Amino acid sequence: MQFELRYQPAHTLAIVHLSPGEAIRAEASSMISMTSGLAVSTDGPLARGRGGLLRGMGRAMLGGESFFTNTFTAVGGAGHVTLAPALCGDLLVHDVRPGEDLLIQGSSYVAAPDTVTLDTQWQGMKGFFSGESLFFLRATGDGPVLLNAFGAIQTIDLDGELIVDTGHLVAFTSGIQYRVTTASPGLIASWLSGEGFVLSVTGKGRLYLQTRNPSEYGVAVGSSLPPREA
């Protein structure tokens, strides 16, 4: 399996080259195109073990992620499938190794082979007036994970503490701890500041940030759109 990334950093496309017999699971709405010899099957909700939680969530809370996946298998010889997310931005491949899990912010996951297992970790906190919610996938196992970012990707090798706006978080390795806190002391100040919740991240490991915040973008554009049914 090889990942070829093109048109970086704004409109990145991932071309996943599959050798005969190889398969990749991808978030359902991420497929753009594929060679004709691939078999496709649609699977149920991505996360195992906390299916009940996922069922209770509306699509809105998942940031548009359907959490249904398609598995593409190269049955008739080598082939490729091209994947991309909904918003403009970059893609990256992170290799998960035994002993170092990757925690992925919900809407940043795109695809991975079956050698990587994904479980949900629901943080359960809705951002103050912003509609953001914190929802992580824990990736364990041995293999590559394809992640998307809204904007460009900043890679930080953290050793210490940093305050991070939740909407700018893509993923981080398991050596890093996080704590949810308000941006300003006081709720009114947090509302006015527009910052909502932030994370205090500490520890040693790798942190991936995106240079744009999807819910800020959603609010900036969405507020000018025609109204919808409740």
Question: Within positions 51 to 110, which residues make up the interface with other proteins, using CB under 8 A?
Answer: 59-60, 63-64, 66, 68, 70, 82, 84-90
Q: What would the two tokens of residue 10 be?
A: 């704004």
Of residues 70 and 173, the one with the C-beta less far from other proteins? 70
Q: Which residues does residue 179 pair with via DSSP β-bridges, in sequence order?
A: 200
| Span interacting with other proteins, options 9-17, 92-100, 109-117, 171-179, rule CB under 8 A | 9-17
Q: Give the C-alpha separation, 194 to 217, whole Å.
A: 13
Of residues 94 and 168, the one with the C-beta less far from other proteins? 168
Nearest approach in angstroms of CB 111 to other proteins is: 15
Q: How far is CA 83 from CA 30, 133, 137, 143, 205, in A?
A: 5, 25, 19, 18, 28
Of residues 96 and 104, the one with the C-beta less far from other proteins? 104
Q: Give the C-alpha separation, 87 to 218, whole Å.
A: 10
Q: Binding other proteins by CB under 8 A: which of 19, 33, 115, 177? A: 33
Answer for the pair 62, 29: CB distance below 8 angstroms, yes or no. Answer: no
Q: What would the two tokens of residue 150 be?
A: 């809204």
Answer for the pair 139, 203: CB distance below 8 angstroms, yes or no. Answer: no
Q: What would the two tokens of residue 55 be?
A: 């069922």
Of residues 96 and 127, the one with the C-beta less far from other proteins? 127
Nearest approach in angstroms of CB 193 to other proteins is: 4
Nearest approach in angstroms of CB 222 to other proteins is: 3
Of residues 136 and 150, the one with the C-beta less far from other proteins? 150
Of residues 112 and 158, the one with the C-beta less far from other proteins? 158
Does residue 28 interact with other proteins by CB under 8 A? yes
Of residues 97 and 162, the one with the C-beta less far from other proteins? 162
**211 Cβ contact partners less than 8 Å away, ≥ 6 residues apart:** 149, 151, 152, 153, 154, 168
| Ranges within 108-167 binding other proteins (CB under 8 A) | 131, 151-152, 154, 161-165
| Span interacting with other proteins, options 98-106, 114-122, 135-143, 206-214, rule CB under 8 A | 206-214
| Span interacting with other proteins, options 94-102, 108-116, 134-142, 211-219, rule CB under 8 A | 211-219
Q: Give the C-alpha separation, 160 to 155, whole Å.
A: 15
Tokens 């701890």 found at: 177
Binding residues for other proteins, rule CB under 8 A, total 73
For CA atoms 16, 19, 20, 26, give the dihedral sign: negative
